[in-house]
């Protein structure tokens, strides 16, 4: 790979975060992605709840709390 | 709000792990490489595409081996500071002593606990989290870690949710206090869904 250091590499732009999210037209499909992740982590419990916070757009935050395998930092 | 008991439908022989770092490598998933995998995720894209569909920002807390790792991905931060690349603070803590851990030093993560973490990097990460997340102090942050009462687990907090043209949140949490609904005017979406991953 070192031999190619001088060549251009593709990058992710900030705008891609939005672009990528448009694969979900259906909002609950997006929530299901997070449920899938908890299931794949071997979770036996998943709490999905909201907490009010007037400083946030929409006035609340949405949490997914599972008891799955968790993660290390990695790399 | 919704507690799904006995959530895991099949007994899994092995759980194939992903590291937090892999989350920010788009398209990389540790799940895919398992031969007898019955995992749903394969493509290493679900968290990003899903979370960014729901809200502008998220912060993830994960716990394992008494080490807590945060992952912070905020579009609000990028927009306000006009940043074109994607920056993801990922501070790491010993959850017993609440000390920061250098997340690039595997020796420490494996028990040598000498805490020679990169102070400048860590403080910059914390400064961004306190500024752009709903959690404004280190105590707030550890409160979130403490919600993970099992020995391992993950908490994702999504905030600055998408709004409808009416100015209301797209997720309706007001109509039914025990459920999360999609606004009935948009209920048609349920029937002409053309989701793909």
Contact A30 B62 (CB under 8 A): no
The confidence band for A59, taking pLDDT boundaries of 50, 70 and 90, is very high
Over residues B56-68, the mean pLDDT reads 96
Contact B15 A38 (CB under 8 A): no
Over residues B41-62, the mean pLDDT reads 94
Contact B65 A41 (CB under 8 A): no
pLDDT score, position B117 = 73
Contact B47 A33 (CB under 8 A): yes
Contact residues on chain B for A43, CB-CB shorter than 8 A: 7-8, 153
The 3-state secondary structure of chain A reads CHHHCCCCCCCCCCHHHHHHHCCCCCHHHHHHHHHHHHHHCCCCCEEEEEEECCCCHHHEEEEEEECCCCCCCCC
Interface of B with A in 133-152 (CB under 8 A): 134, 147-150, 152
High-pLDDT (> 70) share of chain A, %:
99
pLDDT score, position A4 = 94
For B139-193, the pLDDT digits (tens) are 999 999 999 999 999 999 999 999 999 999 999 999 998 999 986 555 555 555 5
Contact B161 A70 (CB under 8 A): no
Tokens of A34: 């997070």
For B20-29, the pLDDT digits (tens) are 988 888 888 8
CA distance B154 to B69: 10
pLDDT score, position B16 = 52
Contact residues on chain A for B152, CB-CB shorter than 8 A: 67-70
Examine the pLDDT at A54 and tell me if it is beyond 90.
Answer: yes
| Strand, helix or coil for residue B50 | helix
| Helical pair A27-40 and B46-54, crossing angle rounded to 10 deg | 140
Name the DSSP letter for residue B164: -
| Strand, helix or coil for residue B100 | strand
List the one residue out of B25, B22, B95, B87 whose CA is nearest residue B57.
Answer: B87
**CB-based contact (8 Å) between B154 and chain A?**
yes
pLDDT score, position B1 = 47
**CB-based contact (8 Å) between A19 and chain B?**
no
Contact A30 B48 (CB under 8 A): no
For A15-33, the pLDDT digits (tens) are 999 999 999 999 999 999 9
pLDDT score, position B189 = 53
Contact B155 A63 (CB under 8 A): yes
CA distance B169 to B107: 45
Any idea what the Cα angle at residue B153 is, between residues B147 and B156, rounded to 5°?
Answer: 70
Examine the pLDDT at B10 and tell me if it is beyond 90.
Answer: no
Name the DSSP letter for residue B163: B
For B85-142, the pLDDT digits (tens) are 999 999 999 999 999 987 655 555 555 555 557 889 999 999 999 999 999 999 999 9
ipTM (interface pTM): 0.94
Say if residues A51 and B1 touch (Cβ distance below 8 Å).
no
Contact residues on chain A for B52, CB-CB shorter than 8 A: 17-18, 20-21
């Amino acid at each position: 790979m070192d031999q190619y250091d001088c060549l251009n590499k593709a990058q992710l732009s900030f705008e891609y975060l939005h672009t990528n999210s448009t694969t979900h037209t259906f909002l609950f499909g997006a929530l299901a992605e997070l449920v899938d992740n908890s299931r794949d982590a071997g979770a036996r419990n998943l709490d999905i709840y909201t907490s009010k916070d007037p400083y946030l757009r929409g006035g609340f935050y949405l949490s997914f709390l599972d008891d799955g395998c968790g993660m290390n930092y990695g790399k | 709000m919704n507690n799904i008991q006995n959530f895991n439908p099949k007994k899994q022989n092995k759980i194939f792990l992903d590291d937090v770092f892999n989350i920010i490598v788009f398209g990389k998933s540790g799940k895919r490489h398992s031969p007898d995998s019955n995992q749903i995720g394969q493509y290493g894209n679900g968290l990003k595409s899903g979370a960014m569909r729901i809200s502008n920002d998220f912060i993830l807390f994960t716990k394992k081996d008494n080490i807590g790792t945060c992952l912070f991905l905020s579009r609000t931060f990028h927009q306000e500071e006009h940043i074109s690349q994607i920056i993801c603070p990922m501070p790491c803590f010993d959850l017993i002593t609440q000390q920061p851990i250098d997340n690039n030093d595997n020796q420490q993560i494996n028990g040598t606990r000498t805490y020679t973490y990169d102070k400048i990097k860590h403080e910059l990460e914390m400064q961004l989290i306190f500024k752009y997340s709903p959690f404004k102090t280190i105590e707030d942050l550890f409160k979130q870690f403490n919600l993970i009462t099992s020995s391992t687990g993950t908490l994702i907090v999504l905030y600055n949710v998408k709004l409808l043209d009416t100015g209301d949140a797209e997720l309706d949490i007001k109509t039914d206090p025990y459920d999360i609904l999609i606004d009935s005017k948009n209920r048609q979406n349920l029937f002409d869904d053309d989701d793909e991953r």
